[in-house]
Amino acid sequence: MRIAMIGTGYVGLVSGACFSEFGVTVTCVDKDAGKIERLNRGEIPIYEPGLDKLVENSAKAGRLFFTTDLKAAVAEADAVFIAVGTPSRRGDGHADLSYVYGAAKEIAEALSGHTVVVTKSTVPVGTGREVERIIRETRPDADFDIVSNPEFLREGSAISDFMRPDRVVIGARTEKAREVMRNLYRPLYLIETPIVFTSVETSELIKYAANTFLAAKITFINEIADLCEKLGADVHDVAKGIGLDGRIGKKFLHPGPGYGGSCFPKDTLALVRTAQEAGAPLRIIETVVDINDKRKRAMADKIIAACGGSVKGKTLAILGVTFKPNTDDMRDSPSLDILPALQEAGAALRAFDPAGMHEAEKMLPGILWCETAYETMGGADALVIITEWNEFRALDLKRVKSLLKSPVLVDLRNVYEPDMMATAGFDYTCVGRVSLPAVQ
């Protein structure tokens, strides 16, 4: 089997490398010649644990190639995957499909022999049909089938998500196309991964329904956390108590500063728009989007309150700015709203992130970026944890306390236990649990 992967962004690169690990010969294509050159030198443009080794091994074994030559890659492929970006369109929240449709046209011109054209990027319902129309219009003679095969990869654990997924979803119209897809995913049959075959439109919707459901689940526990604070209840126990009910499930019930990243904010918005236009508005998700937006400002207010009601003229030490740990991705990170709000309120910020600072520097001006977690703390009036990187879970608390001007700790990810922190002498504020003053 031979495939072409169009777009070597996050999804394309991970999927391409993983398919080649499955024994498929993969050619990854990108318009960005610099990126292809770097990949050919073995440099990986994103931070994803294990990806560098995988790319190196597959490239050495002659199963993974990088090129800008779309035509040659498509001509010899049994299946072509479209994994280009689908950013939110400015203004209306719809996904911008110009890259997908542009790729479809270029693919059409290069098709040779029977080829399955697969959309892997998250695309609104109806995109597959439009890709089919574009190809048919460009090349009336082409022998092809369209397939929707959404990815469910989480940044930071994308490789194991690909190799050992909960399920694979394949939307196809013909048996021939299903057979090609079955062959590509053959190794997953050995580990009895459920493969859900469905129509193209249904498959497209499954991806959005999954992501919006998860976004709603996070938002639900975030609101319950706020209620816990008012009532003196503990959200961790609530999450455990409800999560043990198999119908609810214990995952994705961790409260925090609101969801971020490259998928949830974009996909919730896109499905809201699609649903409104279809005349079946998803009012739950509209509310989820609204709550999550407002939550970031509320988190800034929470930090300000923990600092005694004002941060004017104060210095805050910030740990973690990416939207979650184990990634350098800053897209829609809550920190992008929280930190400017703190600056506006008059705070000076010193920040550290293990992988995200390079990206963050461009997006968050006026912050003093530090080399280590401890460097942020010297003389600061409070310490704020925004992203739960592992190294922030085991801080030397004595050292932290000696560095800070006042022992105020705001933990937006509930990394620490309230009673432990109070005993260690911190005025500790967290999310949805009783926050305790320092034990003197």
> Residue type at 44?
I
Closest CA to 383 of 322, 345, 433, 342: 342
Q: Which of 129, 154, 173, 182 binds ligand UDX (CB under 6 A)?
A: 154
> Applying CB under 6 A, which part among 50-58, 109-117, 152-160, 431-439 lies near ligand UDX?
152-160
C-alpha separations of 329 from 72, 155, 184, 235, 267 in Å: 32, 9, 29, 28, 17
48 lies in the site for ligand UDX, by CB under 6 A: no
86 in a known ligand binding site: yes
Closest CA to 394 of 373, 370, 369: 373
Q: Which burial class, exposed, middle or buried, applies to 286 when counting CB atoms under 10 A from its CB (0-12, 13-18, 19+)?
A: middle
28, 228, 263, 430: which is the annotated catalytic residue?
263
- The bridge status of strand 144-148 relative to strand 315-319 is unpaired
349 in a known ligand binding site: no
Name residue, tokens 């610099």: 34
Q: Which is nearer to ligand UDX, 187 or 243 (CB)?
A: 243
323 lies in the site for ligand UDX, by CB under 6 A: yes
152 in a known ligand binding site: yes
320 lies in the site for ligand UDX, by CB under 6 A: no
Q: Which of 104, 146, 180, 218 binds ligand UDX (CB under 6 A)?
A: 218
256 in a known ligand binding site: yes
Strands, DSSP E only, in 51-127? Answer: 64-67, 79-82, 115-119
217 in a known ligand binding site: no
Kindly state the smallest distance separating residue 354's Cβ from ligand UDX, in Å.
Answer: 15
> Residue type at 194?
P
Site for ligand UDX in 184-213 (CB under 6 A): 211
Q: Which of 155, 353, 359, 427 binds ligand UDX (CB under 6 A)?
A: 155
254 in a known ligand binding site: yes
| 57 neighbors 18 (Cβ within 8 angstroms) | no
Contacts 24+ apart (CB under 8 A), 44-48: 44/13, 45/8, 45/13, 46/10, 46/13, 46/328, 46/329, 47/326, 47/327, 47/328, 47/355, 48/10, 48/14, 48/155, 48/156, 48/158, 48/159, 48/327
Kindly state the smallest distance separating residue 312's Cβ from ligand UDX, in Å.
Answer: 29
Kindly state the smallest distance separating residue 378's Cβ from ligand UDX, in Å.
Answer: 28
Site for ligand UDX in 239-278 (CB under 6 A): 252-254, 256, 259-264
432 lies in the site for ligand UDX, by CB under 6 A: no
> Residue type at 169?
V
Kindly state the smallest distance separating residue 252's Cβ from ligand UDX, in Å.
Answer: 4
296 lies in the site for ligand UDX, by CB under 6 A: no
Query: Is 18 an active-site residue?
Result: no
Q: Which of 22, 47, 152, 426 binds ligand UDX (CB under 6 A)?
A: 152
Name residue, tokens 């930090």: 303
Measured CA angle at 11 (ends 163, 318), to 5 deg = 100
Query: With CB under 6 A, what is the number of residues at the site for ligand UDX?
Result: 19
Q: Which is nearer to ligand UDX, 106 or 161 (CB)?
A: 161
Q: Where is the binding site for substrate, in residues?
A: 152-155, 207, 252-256, 260, 324
Which residues are near ligand UDX by CB under 6 A?
A: 152-155, 211, 214, 218, 252-254, 256, 259-264, 323-324
Active site residues per annotation: 263
